[in-house]
Structures are given as structure tokens and as C-alpha cells.
Amino acid sequence: MMIDATVFTQGLVQVSEVANLAMSAAGGVETAVTGGPSFLHLFTVFVLACFVGFYVVWSVTPALHSPLLSVTNAISSVIIVGGLLAAGPAAELADVDLSSLMGFLAVTLASVNIFGGFLVTQRMLAMFKKKK
Amino acid sequence: MSADWTGFAYLVAAVCFIMALRGLSSPTSARQGNLMGIIGMIIAVTTTLLDPEVISYEIIFAGILVGGTIGTLVAFRINMTALPQLVAAFHSLVGMAAVLVAVAAFYHPEAYGIGTFGNIGTASLIEMSIGAAVGAITFSGSVVAFAKLQGLVSGNPVVFPLQHPLNAVIGIAIVALTVALVFGQDPTSFWAIVILSFLIGFLIIIPIGGADMPVVVSMLNSYSGWAACGIGFTLTNTALIITGALVGSAGAILSYIMCKGMNRSIFNVLLGGFGGDTVAATQQAGGSRSVKQGSADDAAFIMSNANQVIVVPGYGMAVAQAQHALREMADLLKEKGVDVKYAIHPVAGRMPGHMNVLLAEASVPYDEVFELEEINHEFSTADVAFVIGANDVTNPLAKTDPTSPIYGMPILDVEKAGTTLFLKRSLGSGYAGVDNELFFRDKTMMLFGDAKKMAEEIVQALN
């Protein structure tokens, strides 16, 4: 499962070159508007996270593949953050527009998933016991 | 909180999520892992709530209360046999949430600091449409998978002419519409992307048969991660990007493992048309060949005189809810000094790891349960292989017949055991539609009947 260090580095260099190109093609506008992190910055995080995910998930024991599915389900509901930001600006019911309504619905759906996902994972894991 | 602190808090949340997955490397650390996941989620949500732009706490808490109540009730009430459906349903919710957030971002980009309506940056628009499209595909695909797993629609693959060219045309249309969206910024293109993506998600999953559902569930898990990633780029939120990448890789790796367990490529699964539910019922195999049929008493006698019994559970055990009776049987055998182990094939059941959960539910200790590679060599020294509700995963044709649809699939070598007991409802073939010639061998004894009823009868005979 080890990746040769040079190949790995070369890969990352290539990735960042591609990202640079993509950024100069498309991302410049965004950076100008937001002043937030650049596309390259986010893309670097993304690529590194893929590698982390790859190694962490391969180390998961096959016996726990069902809990893996349900817990990834729960954590991917961190998309609730997007819903919160969309629902956030509407202080009163009168302020609710299409976006905050969408945000409210996203928060509701993601909450089903967060509570349901973590609890069902907990229920499953509690059943796994060693020989007495 | 300043932007730096917010970013830092999201990073901590993401690290918690990585630890949550890391915990799953062993059942002893898994519960702590889950706790880390919960902590990470609390950090992420709290950080967002502290954002000065977020002021509508009543609306937000109403949403969390309603959703949280539903989620909690479902999680406590769900039957473990129905886990695959539940996971499919949960995936659909993540997909839908991604679509909703993308819609909100398109109409009110100020909330995310990515421009104003009709004047959104190119990169943001592309990220947004990727998030919306993948989210929509996840949603409709998961709804189809749920319906198939729940038995609301037939598990048979649905194939029709020009299926794949149609999918290709829709795929190209989605890309073209994204380009149009970037140049025009018009809502029509945006909604067209969403609607076509719903359609293609439906079309991708509908041709895939019930037996390939472990791959589908894993694949949709992966999609839900990539959808979260797309939204994470739009929101420039690193917690979402990292989590999305983790979930995306998890699903992709599980799909790979499942495909390898069937010796099929992911493309072969996606093209569909393989493995319906009804094949087993309609095809009566064997013809004139005779099988040795046994009773519960025979099985009890053979197993109580054995030194080692290896149990091979399959989907049939899950359907019959036979795991509790099976564990009782194993307990009685252990009292008689018989060594009992369980062998799990990677694709047993309807989702990855499903059998392990069902056995754990029946209080089978996890250190008695083994994966294929760990235990396969032990069949040659075992006295009895007790196959309950499994078929294709034991079929020696996978090794000997290159023309067989299951050729090359790794199998559990139950044929090498002293005696092979098959607990099945009938002689029917498995989902692959292939006869299992093991049924007709001298060393094999068939126990016909419902898995749960037969296991209970064996328990009585052992008493």
C-alpha cells in the first residue's frame, strides 16, 4: 500500500500545475469577488483529503463496513452548514424568501441524517462484542 | 469569531471526522470514533451558528428539532435487516440537501459571499452546478435503490433499447447547460441542470439488479460525498470539502471491494441487466439428478459429532431473520465441545458488512466471525460447512467453468469440508441464475425449508 515518494511528489506537482491552469482560467473572478481562499488553496485541501480518505478507509476492518457507510452518511450531512447560512439571514417569518426556505428544508433533511446516522451507527457498534 | 478562528474551527471538525473513520479500524475503538464524529458535527454546526449573518435561530432550531426527531425515531426503530434501505434513504437526503443549498446559493449568493444574483463568479457557478447535479443524481438514484431494496418495485433490472445512448445524450446536455449557465447566469439553465440530473440518476440505477445493490449503495455513498465536496467549493468551506472527499473515497473503495468480491468491473455493474430477484424462484435446477435430503435431526446428529463447524450465512438468513436461531444452535454446539466459526463472503447480504451486523445483533462475538481470506483455508480441516441462505458464493463453477457468469468470483471453499449442509428453501439457482453442482455431490446434504424454522428445529433436536 506504500506509494513511492517521488511518484507521489510528482503527482502533487502535476496536480498543482493543473490547478494553477484551472485557476487562471476560471478562478480569478471568484477570488476578486470574495477575497476568501483561492481556488488553488481549496483544491489543495481537496486533493490531500482524498489521499487521507484513501488510506484511512483502507484501514477500516471489513466487519465494520456497514457502520462505515452509516457514519460517512452522518458526517456528509455537515452540508447542514450550507443550509444554516442560507436560512440564517431571515430574522422573522416575513423575511423568508426562496433561499431561506431552501435553507430551512436543507437544515431539516440534514438533521434527519445527522441524528439518524450517528444513532444507528451507535446502535450497530454497541452490538459488536468480544467472546466472553 | 474572526474568519481565521472560523476556519480553524472547521479544520478541527474535519479532523474529528477523520478520527471517526480511523476508529473503525477495530470494533474496540469504533465507538470512540463515532463519538469523535458527533463532536466534529457539534463544532461545525456551532461555528456556523456563531456567524454574525446567521440570526434566524427560531427557524433553524425548528428545522433541527423536526429533522432530529424523525432521525432519532427512525434510528431506534429500524430493523437491522432493513439497514440497506435505511442507508439508501439517508443518501437521498444528503443529495437533496445539496440541491437545496445550491438553489439557495444561486438565488442568494450574498449569503455565501460569492457575488450577487445574476453576477456570480464563473468558478462558483461551475462548482454550484456540479454540486447540484451530483446531489440530484444521488437523490433520485438513492430513491430508486431504496424502492428496490424495500421491495416497492421489482428488484429485476429494467432494460430498454437505446438506454445507454440516452444517458450519454443527457450527460452531454448537462455539460452544455453548465456552459450556458456560466455565460447567461439564467435560472432556466440552472433548473434544467437540476431536472436532467434527477432524470439521469433515475436512469443510471433502474437497470441494476437487486443482487448488485451492495455496489449501488456504496456508489451512492461516494456520490453523496462528491456532492458535499461540490457545495464545499461553492461555500469555500474546508470542513465540507474534506468531509466530502473522505466520504467520496470511502464509497469508491467500498464499490471497488464489492466489485472485486464478484469479479466484475464497475462498468459491468453500471451497464446493468444482471441479477434479478425472481430467477431463483422460476428456475428449477437439476432435472433428473438426485440430491441427498436430510432432516433437522440428521443435521443435529452430524454437527454434534463434529470437531469443527463453519457457518456460512447469506442473504437468505437475513430475509428469514434466522440469525438468532442460528446463534442458539451454535451455543448448543459449543456446549458439546464443537468449535464453531462463521465465514463471511464480501458480497453476502445487500450492503457491505451487512452479515457482520446481523450476527452481532444476535450476540455472536465478533472474534468468531471471519472474512473470506482469513478462513478459506480452514474448510479443508473442518468437519461440517453449514451454509444457511447462501448459494453463488459457494459455487465451485466460479473456479472451473470459464463460461459461467460467476467465473473468477472468489468463493468460500465449502466443498472441501467433510460434509456440506445446505439450508435452502428449494434447489433453485442463485441470483446469477447458475446451478450449483455442489447440491448433487455425495458429501452434500440438503435441508429444505425456511432458514429460521429449520434452524429452530435443529436447536430442538440438539436439546
Element (H, E) at A23: none
Size of interface A-B (CB pairs under 8 A): 419
Residues B178 and B224 in one domain: yes
pLDDT recorded at residue A17: 54
Does the pLDDT of residue B196 top 90, yes or no? yes
Residues B142 and B174 in one domain: yes
The type of residue at A106 is: A
Residue B411 within a domain: yes
Residues B185 and B334 in one domain: no
Cell 428488484 identifies what position? B155
Contacts of B243 in chain A (CB under 8 A): 75-76, 78
A76 touching B (Cβ < 8 Å):
yes
Residues B117 and B17 in one domain: no
Residue B88 within a domain: no
For residue B290, give how far its alpha carbon lies from the nearest alpha carbon of chain A (Å).
Answer: 38
More confident residue, B101 or A23: B101
Instruction: Please give the torsion angle defined by the CA atoms of residues B282, B439, B357 and B255, in that order, rounded to the nearest 10 degrees.
Output: -70
Q: How many domains does chain B have?
A: 3
B339 SS3 class: strand
Residue B256 within a domain: yes
Residues B267 and B315 in one domain: no
User: Inter-axis angle of helices A65-76 and B238-261, to 10 degrees?
Assistant: 150
Identify the band that residue B281 occupies on the pLDDT scale cut at 50, 70 and 90. very low
Q: Are B454 and B425 in contact (CB under 8 A)?
A: no
For residue A1, give how far its alpha carbon lies from the nearest alpha carbon of chain B (Å).
Answer: 14
Please report, rounded to a whole number, the percentage of residues in chain B having pLDDT higher than 70.
95
Window B:308-367, CB contacts with A under 8 Å? 344, 346, 351-354, 356-357, 360-361, 363, 365-367
What DSSP letter does each residue of B151-182 carry, written as one string? TSS--S----TTHHHHHHHHHHHHHHHHHHHH
Q: Do B93 and A69 lie within an 8 Å CB cutoff?
A: no
Q: What is the pLDDT of residues B340-373, one digit of tens each?
A: 999 999 888 888 999 999 999 999 999 999 999 9
Mean pLDDT per block of 10 residues along chain A (132 residues) reads 48 52 46 62 94 94 94 95 87 77 94 96 93 75
Residue B179 within a domain: yes
Does the pLDDT of residue B103 top 70, yes or no? yes
Q: Do B360 and A74 lie within an 8 Å CB cutoff?
A: no
pLDDT recorded at residue B30: 93
* pLDDT averaged over every residue in chain B: 88
The reported pTM is 0.86
Contacts of A46 in chain B (CB under 8 A): 229, 233, 241-242, 245
Overall average pLDDT of the B428-437 stretch = 73
pLDDT recorded at residue B285: 47
CA of B367: which chain A residue's CA is closest? A130
Q: Which of B21, B56, B75 sits opposite A57 (nearest CB)?
A: B21
Identify the band that residue B274 occupies on the pLDDT scale cut at 50, 70 and 90. low
Residue B90 within a domain: no
Residues B313 and B249 in one domain: no
Residues B138 and B218 in one domain: yes
Q: What is the pLDDT of residues B236-270, one digit of tens each?
A: 889 999 999 999 999 999 999 999 888 888 877 77
Residues B179 and B304 in one domain: no
Q: What is the pLDDT of residues B327-339, one digit of tens each?
A: 999 999 999 999 9
Residues spanned by the domain of B118: 95-277
B246, B323, B364: best mutation site toward chain A, by most A Cβ within 10 Å? Answer: B246
For residue B292, give how far its alpha carbon lies from the nearest alpha carbon of chain A (Å).
Answer: 34
Residue B156 within a domain: yes
Contacts of B330 in chain A (CB under 8 A): none
